[in-house]
Amino acid sequence: MERINVDANTSTMTVVDVTMENAQQVLIEESQQRPVVIDFWADWCEPCKTLMPLLEKLANEYAGQFLLAKVNADELQGLAGQFGVRSLPTVMVMKDGQPVDGFAGAKPETEIREMLQKYLPAPWQGLIDQANQLMQDDNFKDALTLLRQAYNDSGEQPSIGIGLAQVFLHLNRCDEAEAILQTIPMADQYGDYEQAMAQLQLKREASQSPELTALEEKHRANPDDLAVAHQLAVQYSQCDKMEQSLELLLAILRKDLNFEEGGAKKTYTEVLATLGKGDPLAIRYQRKLFTLLY
């Protein structure tokens, strides 16, 4: 196990052995920056041998959000005494230089996670932070991927859903934004939610150009005119109405797979490419095309 001295930088470490030389830095100073989980153990302690690998696993999983500080209570009896350790294993959580939580004896992983979650950012917070940085750089497409993952990982928390809907709106993907906003509970329908709904309404109105309206009317009047349907699908894609575009193109391909010498198929694949790899909408319609072709 890696050891540090009093001058070492611990900010990137996940696990460290505590010595008398580094104890002040690891247990007090580092806990001013992030939580420090102290594991008091000894070679003769059988429960310690079960608990320690579990704590190390969690420390690596949380990737530096907390520091696991391992204290050999036999070698550092004075330090263990200062913390009032009476039995092994004993685990304590240090924050801002003070013990704030802990337990004695081995505990199941679920209970340890519940304790840690009181002092750590949510596991998906890192995804949100990365997405926010991407949005500052006007990279909304990559931000969308991260926010979608955070939304799923969080069990579809409303606040994250509203943020995801706002990114969809920025990309003019109104249908997907509206689908998410419709799931937001009444108690959360204020503030950012109201702003997102207003943006949705404005984008809906702006997207209805006279040319698009005219094509929609032509298509309703004669749905079997595949040329008009293809023109309308192209217009939908240019207005970022991707699902409507793909659904219309799929209907064309079902009637004539080689319509306009493969033009409709080419438009279909271009729309999929615009959505990007890994996008659920792209995956869904890629499968539909595959089923149609094979």
Q: Each residue of 30-44: pLDDT tens digit?
A: 999 999 999 999 999
Share of the chain above pLDDT 90, in %: 69
Instruction: Report d(CA 166, CA 172) in Å as an integer.
Output: 10
pLDDT of 8 reads 41
DSSP β-ladder status, 98-104 and 90-95 = antiparallel
| Three-state SS letters, 104-167 | ECCCCHHHHHHHHHCCCCCCCHHHHHHHHHHHHCCCHHHHHHHHHHHHHHCCCCHHHHHHHHHH
| Topology (CATH) of 210-293 | 1.25.40
pLDDT per position as a tens digit, 223-259: 999 999 999 998 888 777 888 999 999 999 999 999 9
pLDDT per position as a tens digit, 74-123: 999 999 999 999 999 999 999 999 999 999 999 999 999 999 989 988 87
* CATH number of the domain located at residue range(s) 125-207 in this protein: 1.25.40.10
Instruction: Report d(CA 118, CA 116) in Å as an integer.
Output: 5
Residue 213 burial by CB count (10 A; 0-12/13-18/19+): exposed, middle or buried? exposed
Amino acid at 255: K
181-195 average pLDDT score: 94
Catalytic residue, from 26, 27, 38, 48: name it.
48
* Contact status, residue 59 vs residue 35, Cβ threshold 8 Å: no
Instruction: Report d(CA 177, CA 167) in Å as an integer.
Output: 8
pLDDT of 121 reads 81
Establish whether 48 is a catalytic residue.
yes
Buried b (16+ CB within 10 A) or exposed e, 133-159: ebbeeeebeebbbbbbbbbeebeeebe
Work out the pLDDT band at 10, boundaries 50, 70, 90.
low
Domain parsing of the chain, residue ranges = 15-117, 125-207, 210-293
pLDDT of 7 reads 35
Work out the pLDDT band at 206, boundaries 50, 70, 90.
low
pLDDT of 126 reads 84
Q: In CATH, what is the architecture of 15-117?
A: 3-Layer(aba) Sandwich (3.40)
pLDDT per position as a tens digit, 81-93: 999 999 999 999 9
Instruction: Report d(CA 268, CA 2) in Å as an integer.
Output: 55
Output phi, psi for 159, to 5 deg. -65, -40
Instruction: Report d(CA 60, CA 166) in Å as an integer.
Output: 33
142-166 average pLDDT score: 94
Q: How much is the pTM?
A: 0.57
Please calculate the CA angle 17-19-22 and round it to the nearest 5 degrees: 95
Catalytic residue, from 4, 45, 135, 147: name it.
45
Would the CATH topology of 15-117 be identical to that of 210-293? no
215-227 average pLDDT score: 93
151-169 average pLDDT score: 94
pLDDT of 77 reads 96
pLDDT of 20 reads 93
